[in-house]
A and B are shown apart, each in its own frame.
Chain A
């Protein structure tokens, strides 16, 4: 399974890339880097849809405050970073509220229903919370952008959610919601409720607990919402089909710490089980591979010994002086002792990481390592450095 296919081949053969993984692993940055890589090295029109970028990354991509509208990253920004892209990089930020508004405008049967929904006081509150709204909207936007025929490649950064699978389940949940008993119960005309045997106890209790006014407000809203069922459901089916489309690939981003790696493994297994295309696992912020090599631990011990050995120290200090550095011998001894002692701490972490990496390599066609970078990725130049690691 360890066939190395390479990132370029993956990005060149797909039209939609879903970047998934648990929170805090650098998903947004990796998504931006994947899109940048495709735009720079392969050309065409590439779009990255980000969810919640760090402010400076958003600035670098020119998406601050722009919401759902896609914007082209200007040539000047590339020139300033010393990059000559073959294609164009576009960026947009997922805006759940605007996304819902668009859906309502598209699927409401007439202007009256549309306006009633948009002006309903519960609308905003409900849409921002239920059935994994963000996850569905991210998928919906991917569908919309891909279907627009405007882009050669769309890379989607998925929302941070409590469960990485939520993104895969979002469309079917949306479909289920429209067919659910809940919606039927919610939309029973208020007066006939108390006479329906099945729902009577429910409404008696619910009215007492929540107050009838609140329930009526909710019911009014869902009666309107139900008018959009047909359009919503068929759309959600299209969105669901996109997950298994041969032009779609999933990239799982993770660090090699326990919890994110566990989540990534789970996600990778599930993607394989559902016959979705798993393109790559990206292991982010890994320690340098050299740490776990044979002989390194022995060298660490010998280095500690050298720190207490006059002859060895003299040789090291002499080389410093040869390089034009004036160093204190005591300071060098202290540094070498500390570096050697601390090495074993880092080695423990590195060997754990290596084990987890091996487990992930069994599941994915390729695992791409990205080292901890010396600085934050917040402009095109540093993003390009990340691209260098991804294509390595």
Chain B
């Protein structure tokens, strides 16, 4: 099945690999392909809104573009909404201090914050408010705790309303046709290692399987073997190159060598990635962009590469 045919997509990855840009690009693709799409930032740092060149998101979704809405997760608001909808608590107005205190408890108690957050996302899916919900989720170190929260709560909390609700939330999260997990990596040692490590423990800790790996900032191979041999030896003919192009050619060579070295190291890590992930798990590639742009332009560029690789629109 196509990645975007799922209703809930968590996008994770080691810090610094471009997780937020990829989440934004997937959301843009979703909206462009006619799906009513919600994109949600989990950490309130504003990076997702910045990717769309727009003001910080709030808990209440805001329209960014045709069919595209953005929100920022906030457990206090999630609790307020939860109490209103499920506990049918009439004193919404008085809940402020209560919610803040609850937030403290949620900070200390395992899984409570996470269940409020993923519960809210699953609720949007269950009620079919959107065709697709894309989550700029926690980094690789915390994602299993985030998605696995219903399980933790199920084990720790024996009675009460939260426990009753872990069931339907788990049903959505653990159904691979409804919920997808995208792991973003770059062709570098630690991001690849963390990706492999995460895949190994996802099923056990969260009951989910990854749907797609996105390898971001991949340098394309520019040279075949004969050409590579020449590139490697250009320094030997530096005097001749200076003759025809001036002394600045040393800087040109430095750039070529730096890029080639990075590409080769990166290639080894991508090979390791392909070797160690389950067969059949798709890996899609987004090239290094070499652009001076930031924000929305970057999102559009990544989206167009993903569209080619994922075969959408």
Contact = CB atoms under 8 A, between A and B. Distances in A.
21 contacts: A22-B16, A23-B14, A24-B17, A24-B186, A129-B108, A130-B108, A160-B141, A185-B101, A205-B98, A209-B161, A213-B157, A214-B157, A292-B251, A302-B244, A306-B245, A323-B233, A323-B237, A331-B230, A338-B222, A372-B262, A374-B264
B136 to A, nearest CB: 12
Contacts of A201: 91, 94, 98
A186 B249 contact: no
Interface of A: 22-25, 54-55, 122, 125-126, 129-131, 160, 162-163, 180-182, 185-186, 201-202, 205-214, 217-218, 222, 255, 257-260, 287-288, 290-300, 302-303, 306, 309, 312, 315-316, 318-320, 323, 325, 327-328, 331-332, 334-335, 338-340, 342-343, 345-350, 352, 371-372, 374-376, 378
Nearest to B152: A125
Contacts of B102: 202, 205-206
Residue from B159, B186, B254, B294 having most chain A Cβ neighbours under 10 A: B254
Contacts of A24: 14-17, 186, 188, 190-191
Given A125-B156, A300-B248, 8 more contacts: A125-B110, A162-B45, A209-B83, A214-B157, A214-B158, A300-B249, A315-B240, A346-B255
A327 B226 CA distance: 9
A1 B291 CA distance: 31
Contacts of B223: 335, 338
A237 B287 CA distance: 48
A303 B189 contact: no
A293 B247 CA distance: 11
B281 interface: no
Interface in B224-259: 226-227, 230-231, 233-234, 236-237, 239-241, 243-256, 258-259
Given A316-B244, A323-B237, A346 B290 contact: yes
A334 B105 CA distance: 65
B89 interface: yes
| The 4 residue pairs across chains A and B that have the minimum distance between CB atoms | A23-B15, A24-B16, A211-B160, A299-B248
B228 to A, nearest CB: 9
Given A55-B193, A182-B105, A211 B159 contact: yes
B128 to A, nearest CB: 25
Interface of B: 14-17, 43, 45, 47, 82-83, 87, 89, 91, 94, 98, 101-102, 104-105, 107-110, 112, 139, 141, 152, 156-163, 186, 188-191, 193, 222-223, 226-227, 230-231, 233-234, 236-237, 239-241, 243-256, 258-259, 261-262, 264-265, 290-292, 294
A205 B89 contact: yes
Contacts of B251: 288, 290-293, 295-296, 299
Contact of B162 (A22, A25, A163, A211): A211
B96 to A, nearest CB: 12
A319 B110 CA distance: 69
A117 to B, nearest CB: 14
B261 A54 contact: no
Contact of A302 (B83, B141, B222, B245): B245
Contacts of B45: 162-163
A162 B256 CA distance: 35
Residue from B43, B152, B226 having most chain A Cβ neighbours under 10 A: B226
Contact of B160 (A22, A210, A298, A374): A210
Contacts, number: 232
Nearest to A258: B294
A130 B108 CA distance: 5
A182 B104 CA distance: 6
A318 B239 CA distance: 12
Contacts of A331: 226-227, 230
Contacts of B222: 338, 342
A229 B243 CA distance: 75
B244 A315 contact: yes
Given A211-B159, A376-B189, A376-B265, A316 B241 contact: yes
Given A125-B110, A211-B162, A374 B15 contact: no
Contacts of A345: 290
Given A24-B15, A328-B226, A376-B189, A297 B248 contact: yes
B46 to A, nearest CB: 11
A348 B290 contact: yes
Nearest to B243: A315
A122 B234 CA distance: 63
Contacts of A294: 248
B252 A300 contact: yes
Contact of B105 (A206, A292, A376): A206
A331 B14 CA distance: 40
A391 to B, nearest CB: 21
Nearest to B111: A125
B198 to A, nearest CB: 13
Given A209-B162, A210-B162, A299-B247, A320 B236 contact: yes
Contacts of B262: 372
Contact of A303 (B17, B87, B139, B241): B241
B196 to A, nearest CB: 11
